[in-house]
Chains A and B, each alone.
Chain A
Amino acid sequence: MSDAGVWHFLLGDLSWGALPFVRAWRDPNLSEIIGAAAGAVVVLGAIAAFALITTLKLWRTLWTEWLTSLDHKKIGIMYIVLAGVMLTRALIEAVLMRTQQALAVNAPGIVGPNHFAQLFTTHGSIMIFFMAMPFLTGLINYVMPLQIGARDMAFPYLNSVGLWLTVGGAGLMMASLVIGEFSTGGWSGYPPYTELSYSGGPGPDYWIWAVSLSSIGNTTVGINVICTIYKLRAPGMTWMRLPLFCWTSLCTAILMIFAMMPLTLATLLLAADRYAGMHFFTNDGGGNMMNYVNLFWLFGHPEVYIVILPSFGVYSEVISAFSSKELYGYTSLVLATAAIAILSFTVWLHHFFTMGQSADVNAAFGIATMAIAVPTGVKIYDWIWTMFRGEVRFTPSMLLSIAFIMTFVLGGFSGIILATPPLDYMLHNTLFLVAHFHNMLIPGTLYGLLAGYMYWFPKAFGFRLNERWGRISVACWVVGFYLAFMPLYVLGAAGMARRTQEVFDPAFRPWLIVALIGALLLGAALASLFWQLFVSIRDRDANRVPVGDPWDARGLEWSVSAPPPEWNFTTIPQVGNRDAFYWRKRNGDAYLPADDYRDIELPKGTACGFVIGIAAAMCSFGLVWRIWWMAILFLLLDVATVIVRSFMRDTTRTVPAATVECVDRLWLAQARAACPVAREFEQCERNKGLAQWTA
């Protein structure tokens, strides 16, 4: 083999030009320099994290307590950490895009067309697959088993596999910043543009494999959540006593199972086109791009509800807790959730009214789309009536919920406009559409996930978050949203196409500048969110709530210490009511020692999930760059790990009854020592997590 042949075997298509630093050196224009700087941030960030962990001598703890853990709570936290990292990147990209469009009115702006296209592709892909999905999965993972009175998920090991597959996919997204480039085909990756003939190079391959890993990971999450809710509910936790967050988790999980598969199929068929010269979606050889479009949105529309339903669950919990009132219309909310889940499979065609099908088809799907407004409207009113005759406290979570209700209806209104085919013909592919789906997803998903994060944070870490910085952050999220996206409605109605790197109508400039200010405010919102976390950790000793019920809340998750013991419940609770803990407190059954303490069996940590996820990412990296030995090697490692794990018999460990009793009695002593705190003072330092209950 010649020298070049050896290098090609070893490195595939990799070359120096794949590094953004080399590209910026060879052709130092602003666009390349921004790309190189982004790559440098990733590299330096990784080095800094590595150095920090080494100096603090945390590698062992990190490995044994976190990376190999099968505890649903730790897996949930790791999902949310991942979401936070990816949110930061995707939000910076959004600010860059807004800056570009504001500057590029009859001018080249700061990033070139190819770079701009990568920005909107990664922004969308990350926000959906690596921000919203991990965030909601993390919340479900953490909260749902606690709410139904379970010790863990049904399949703790599968849980870890799902996490690490998602992390592997996110790793590919980050790798694309440093090695090579990303797809320019948008988050939906429509062929034939993403076929080899029109997008050569590694970009679309990065997209295909990152999305595939995420979609496979999410399928496992769906299976796990469903099995957990079906099989591990505490005795007495009948369906109509299930907390609403569990109902929305269940519906989301059902959607995940049915909706993720068309996506996995679509991306794998596209991979077959690109790698094996097949013709599923090509122009020639009998391929048909319309099949891809249908498969993608068969996933894509239910996906909208996958990311929105868990937030609806959060709002139901938050509004009820901070109004100190029973949820209004529980049955209606359950029915509406189920109705949304079912209807979400009947509307996918509204994403392409303009593909040339008959008016009958378009009208049918338009009407189906409008029908979803009914159960959604019911939910909105149920939340409003939950506040009615309550005792409302304007905590950051509650402010987010109120902002959500009022902003979401505006998005619903523009949704009705877009659901009308004759209007969609005018507005499709314009910024009006971009404004609409951000109007749904930012209040509908992000606000909810953040509200959930702030609401359950004291439960997970044992101290409250700083309220002042929380309110500042909420204000920035809300004002930033309106400034960033209301101008896009105007621009879209004026005919400005989405995804344009340069703008030719000077009349658009003022609107684009307002949108940029909004994007900067959203950046400030994220910064103040991180600052809130920092301040709260700094002041944690003053704000501890060890007893575990800082808001006089209602679900079983509040009936244990904060943070909860690894085994969640000393004894599996008996459930006699909806809002089980609320009634237990009022009946004097809370904070009692167990009749007898028993040994508790827990899943033992394993490196298998971590290895499977990271090996899958390495295999994908080999595929992206056509480094075949690498792809085969890591694929075999994946298969071998699955086989080895299946022979492991010693997968659980036992916590002795004495330890359980010791931990429980310590907590009960804290509960007895704590002074019950009234609602007026729950945001003060005297709140130790024991609520004073009156009515």
Chain B
Amino acid sequence: MLFVIGPVLLLTPLIAWHYRLSNTRSAYRPQWGFSWPLEGLIWVPPILIVVFLAVFLWRDTHELDPYKPLPGRPLEIEAVALDWKWLFIYPEQDVALVNRLVIPAGQPVHLSLTSATVMQSLLIPQLAGQIYAMAGMKTQLNIASNKPGSFFGEETQFDGVGFQNQHFTVQALDAAGFARWLVETRAQRNKLDSAAYQTLSRRSTLPHPLAFAAVAPGLFDRIVSLAEPSGHDLLLQKQPPHLLPMEISSHE
């Protein structure tokens, strides 16, 4: 890349200084304004560089497409963007987490994303790029962690006063750890049914992550098809929107 910007960074100060007015030894050709060789030099190499980069861009964009499945049988996780938290549903395991994502290390994970509120964007910088989550729509992201570890996850699309608190930890556990986590989670009592979802989906931030031992079947699909009203939607039906408080700081 220095090949492109290097000459500019070098030539600009050199030429400006050498041809300064007070340097009487430098040439002065006020009527010189065109040269075919120079024209060729400033048009052709940049075009070639762009063509060259374009080939790589095309290849890499397809290779690293977030929709492209990773090799192996993936773990399915459904992510729902809420104000101001992330809900992760494990449909095959019938558990759910809020503001915490646990994945098995060494196995690909296929995330389906939607939003129960405004547009949001899920980014786990160490594991994958980001993708938007939008209400009434489903987007996808394929991620994987090669080894166990703890990673930072965040929401990057501004979505209101709780935005800065909407981050979470991603934990990649080895197979035994993942199984243990599953058993522990299932041993809890709380269930993510419509009532719990309504409380969860009000505009609020959570002081700490939550876990649910069971999930109402088909919850994600109902959220995608806008058939499952959020707590915020229900509040709106009762009160005109401009009377709703904007600042809600913690979970009720």
Partner of A201, one of B4, B39, B246: B246
Residues from chain B with Cβ under 8 Å of A366 in the complex: 57, 61
Known: A352-B132, A391-B19. A363 touches B34 (CB 8 A): no
Chain A positions 139-181 with a Cβ under 8 Å from a chain B Cβ: none
A426 near B129 with CB under 8 A, answer yes
A361 (CB) vs chain B CBs: closest residue:
B61
Partner of B154, one of A199, A412, A426, A497: A497
A430 contacts B by Cβ under 8 Å:
yes
Partner of B247, one of A114, A354, A362, A498: A114
A428 near B54 with CB under 8 A, answer no
The segment from A248-256, A325-333, A519-527, A611-619 that touches chain B is A325-333
Among A393, A421, A502, which residue has the most Cβ atoms of chain B within 10 A? A421
B1 contacts A by Cβ under 8 Å:
yes
B135 near A392 with CB under 8 A, answer no
Q: Is the interface of B mostly helix, strand, loop or mixed?
A: mixed
Partner of A200, one of B5, B53, B242: B242
A401 CB, min distance to chain B CBs, angstroms: 9
Residues from chain B with Cβ under 8 Å of A288 in the complex: 136
Residues from chain B with Cβ under 8 Å of A393 in the complex: 20-21
B69 contacts A by Cβ under 8 Å:
no
A190 (CB) vs chain B CBs: closest residue:
B119
Partner of B19, one of A112, A390, A426: A390
Residues from chain A with Cβ under 8 Å of B12 in the complex: 384, 387, 402, 405-406
B50 contacts A by Cβ under 8 Å:
yes
B229 (CB) vs chain A CBs: closest residue:
A284
Chain A positions 13-42 with a Cβ under 8 Å from a chain B Cβ: 13
B43 near A374 with CB under 8 A, answer yes
C-alpha spacing A419/B28, complex, angstroms: 40
C-alpha spacing A114/B159, complex, angstroms: 11
Known: A13-B242, A409-B9. A495 touches B125 (CB 8 A): yes
Among B39, B125, B156, B158, which residue has the most Cβ atoms of chain A within 10 A? B158
A275 contacts B by Cβ under 8 Å:
no
B115 (CB) vs chain A CBs: closest residue:
A283
B131 (CB) vs chain A CBs: closest residue:
A354
A517 CB, min distance to chain B CBs, angstroms: 23
B65 contacts A by Cβ under 8 Å:
yes
B34 near A388 with CB under 8 A, answer no
B11 contacts A by Cβ under 8 Å:
yes
Partner of B20, one of A191, A329, A392, A429: A392
B58 near A367 with CB under 8 A, answer yes
C-alpha spacing A409/B235, complex, angstroms: 51
Q: Assign chain A's interface to a size class.
A: 35 or more
A495 near B154 with CB under 8 A, answer yes
A117 contacts B by Cβ under 8 Å:
yes
Chain A positions 419-445 with a Cβ under 8 Å from a chain B Cβ: 419-422, 424-426, 428-430
C-alpha spacing A426/B236, complex, angstroms: 35
User: B41-76, CB under 8 A of A: which get 1 and which 0?
Assistant: 111001100100110011011111111100000000
C-alpha spacing A214/B125, complex, angstroms: 38
Chain B residues within 8 Å of chain A by Cβ, number: 87
User: B151-186, CB under 8 A of A: which get 1 and which 0?
Assistant: 010111111111111010000000000000000000
B8 contacts A by Cβ under 8 Å:
yes
User: B210-236, CB under 8 A of A: which get 1 and which 0?
Assistant: 000000000000000010000011001
B123 near A387 with CB under 8 A, answer no
Known: A356-B140, A502-B165. A198 touches B160 (CB 8 A): yes
User: B14-52, CB under 8 A of A: which get 1 and which 0?
Assistant: 011101111000111111111000110111001100100
Known: A332-B43, A356-B140. A422 touches B15 (CB 8 A): no
B99 contacts A by Cβ under 8 Å:
no
A389 near B121 with CB under 8 A, answer no
A420 near B57 with CB under 8 A, answer yes
Among B33, B41, B60, which residue has the most Cβ atoms of chain A within 10 A? B33
B195 contacts A by Cβ under 8 Å:
no
Partner of A371, one of B50, B119, B123, B226: B50
B42 near A422 with CB under 8 A, answer no
C-alpha spacing A499/B160, complex, angstroms: 10
Residues from chain B with Cβ under 8 Å of A69 in the complex: none
A680 (CB) vs chain B CBs: closest residue:
B21
A505 (CB) vs chain B CBs: closest residue:
B152
C-alpha spacing A289/B118, complex, angstroms: 9
Residues from chain A with Cβ under 8 Å of B46 in the complex: 373-374, 377-378
User: A298-314, CB under 8 A of B: which get 1 and which 0?
Assistant: 00000000000000000
Among A13, A356, A362, A366, which residue has the most Cβ atoms of chain B within 10 A? A356
B202 CB, min distance to chain A CBs, angstroms: 13
B13 contacts A by Cβ under 8 Å:
yes
B119 near A289 with CB under 8 A, answer yes
Known: A114-B247, A390-B28, A421-B61. A198 touches B125 (CB 8 A): no
A354 near B162 with CB under 8 A, answer no
User: B68-91, CB under 8 A of A: which get 1 and which 0?
Assistant: 100000000000000000000000
Known: A113-B164, A388-B15, A679-B21. A425 touches B39 (CB 8 A): no
A126 contacts B by Cβ under 8 Å:
no
A210 contacts B by Cβ under 8 Å:
no
Residues from chain A with Cβ under 8 Å of B167 in the complex: 504
Residues from chain B with Cβ under 8 Å of A329 in the complex: 33-34, 38-39, 42
C-alpha spacing A197/B58, complex, angstroms: 40
Residues from chain A with Cβ under 8 Å of B21 in the complex: 391-393, 679-680
B194 contacts A by Cβ under 8 Å:
no
Known: A416-B53, A426-B125. A497 touches B226 (CB 8 A): no
C-alpha spacing A473/B47, complex, angstroms: 37
B27 near A389 with CB under 8 A, answer yes
A389 near B19 with CB under 8 A, answer yes
C-alpha spacing A288/B33, complex, angstroms: 52
10 tightest Cβ-Cβ pairs between the two chains A and B: A425-B129, A200-B242, A429-B156, A326-B33, A283-B135, A422-B64, A495-B125, A113-B161, A363-B61, A359-B65
11 A–B contact pairs at CB < 8 A? A113-B247, A193-B159, A329-B34, A330-B34, A367-B54, A405-B8, A409-B9, A413-B5, A420-B61, A425-B128, A497-B123
Given contacts A374-B46, A384-B15, A387-B19, 9 further A-B contacts (CB under 8 A): A184-B160, A289-B119, A289-B135, A290-B134, A354-B131, A358-B65, A358-B67, A377-B42, A422-B61
